[in-house]
Amino acid sequence: ADFGFERVTPEEKTSRVYSVFERVAGSYDVMNDAMSLGLHRVWKDVLMERLAPPHGTRLLDVAGGTGDIAYRFLKYLKNLEPPGSEKPSHVTVSDINRAMLDAGRERWSTSHGEWTHPDDTVDWLEANAEQLPVDDESYSAYTIAFGIRNVTDKTKALREAYRVLRPGGRFMCLEFSRVDNRALSWAYDQYSFQVIPALGHVIAGDWHSYRYLVESIRKFPDQETFAGMIRGVGFKGVTYENLTFGVVAIHSGFKV
Ligand code: SAM
């Protein structure tokens, strides 16, 4: 596996990714806004609109970090018409990194009452996406946002997604992808390699972690290749949608 420009073992890669997120956990939410100019909020909103979960959904949000997807999930359900949820919904936020989950839990403990339906529940699970401590066919939806590119063995993570979903369950992934416009692609490169590490340095005091994040984006497979990987583990009806000219893409697939 690669890390930066070096070649390292898979174990070493997992452990280096771990320390990157350990270092950035405290400044993660602020950095997300700064680096994406707030766009990550819009992209995550679109992901939830596409998933359009009905009451009674059991969502597993993998690499869930500080809980942005879970937050949108519960908010979406609270605003559903008709509002009554005789079928309670549940979301599990899972992440390999305790520091990220702790940052999320802390943010939530103060505010979640206002935008959560009283019957809907959330739990937090420390887990590697490659090996989820979760029963077979126990969730109706699986999401992973800006997470899969950090996972060392992506196919293994996709197989786990397939395993934990019930038949009829849906897989959705939001991830950086390939920009499909040449002029924009040039500007995006400049921004990524010059501005983002500099922002990392100024806001989080950490140039290298943010340089890693940019490199991991560049190494991630393009839209079609990733769609092929999703089909490869058995998902059907696999599609993707580009957002912001392919800066990010939403991939979707079903277990039948
Ligand atoms: N989904 C959140 C969001 O969109 O704001 C967090 C995204 S953050 C860029 C990536 C997350 O992936 C980090 O919280 C990191 O700890 C987690 N991660 C990295 N490798 C992982 C793995 N193998 N299994 C589970 N989570 C992992």
Q: Which of 13, 18, 20, 21 to mutate to test the pocket of ligand 1 (most atoms within 8 A of CB)?
A: 21
pLDDT-derived band of residue 85, with 50, 70 and 90 as boundaries? low
Q: Is the per-residue pLDDT at 108 higher than 60?
A: yes
Instruction: List the residue whose alpha carbon is closest to atom 16 of ligand 1.
Output: 97
Answer CATH for 2-180+221-254 from 3.30.2000.10, 3.40.190.10, 3.30.2310.20, 3.40.50.150: 3.40.50.150
pLDDT-derived band of residue 70, with 50, 70 and 90 as boundaries? very high
Rounded to 5 degrees, what are φ and ψ at 250?
-110, 120
Q: Which of 97, 131, 164 to mutate to test the pocket of ligand 1 (most atoms within 8 A of CB)?
A: 97
Proportion of the chain above pLDDT 70, given as a percent: 95
pLDDT, tens digit (0-9, with 9 covering 90-100), for 135-170: 999 999 999 999 999 999 999 999 999 999 999 999
Closest C-alpha among 164, 146, 152 to residue 63: 146
pLDDT on residue 2:
46
User: So where are the chain's domains?
Assistant: 2-180+221-254
pLDDT, tens digit (0-9, with 9 covering 90-100), for 197-228: 998 898 888 888 888 889 999 999 999 999 99
81 versus 41: the higher-pLDDT residue is 41
Q: Say yes or no: CB of residue 99 within 6 Å of ligand 1.
A: no
Mean pLDDT estimate for the chain: 91
Q: How far is the CA of 144 from the centre of ligand 1 (A)?
A: 8
52: left (phi over 0), alpha (psi -120 to 50) or beta: left
pLDDT on residue 32:
87
Indicate the pTM of the whole model: 0.94
DSSP for the chain, written as a single string: -EETTEE--HHHHHHHHHHHHHHHGGGHHHHHHHHHTTHHHHHHHHHHHHH-PPTT-EEEEET-TTTHHHHHHHHHHHT-SS---SS--EEEEEES-HHHHHHHHHHHHHHGGGGS-TT-EEEEEE-BTTB----TT-EEEEEEES-GGG-S-HHHHHHHHHHHEEEEEEEEEEEE-----HHHHHHHHHIIIIIHHHHHHHHHS-HHHHHHHHHHHHHS--HHHHHHHHHHTT-EEEEEEEEGGGTEEEEEEE--
Q: Is the per-residue pLDDT at 1 higher than 60?
A: no
Q: Is the per-residue pLDDT at 56 higher than 50?
A: yes
Q: How far is the CA of 142 from the centre of ligand 1 (A)?
A: 14
pLDDT-derived band of residue 115, with 50, 70 and 90 as boundaries? confident
Q: Say yes or no: CB of residue 146 within 6 Å of ligand 1.
A: yes
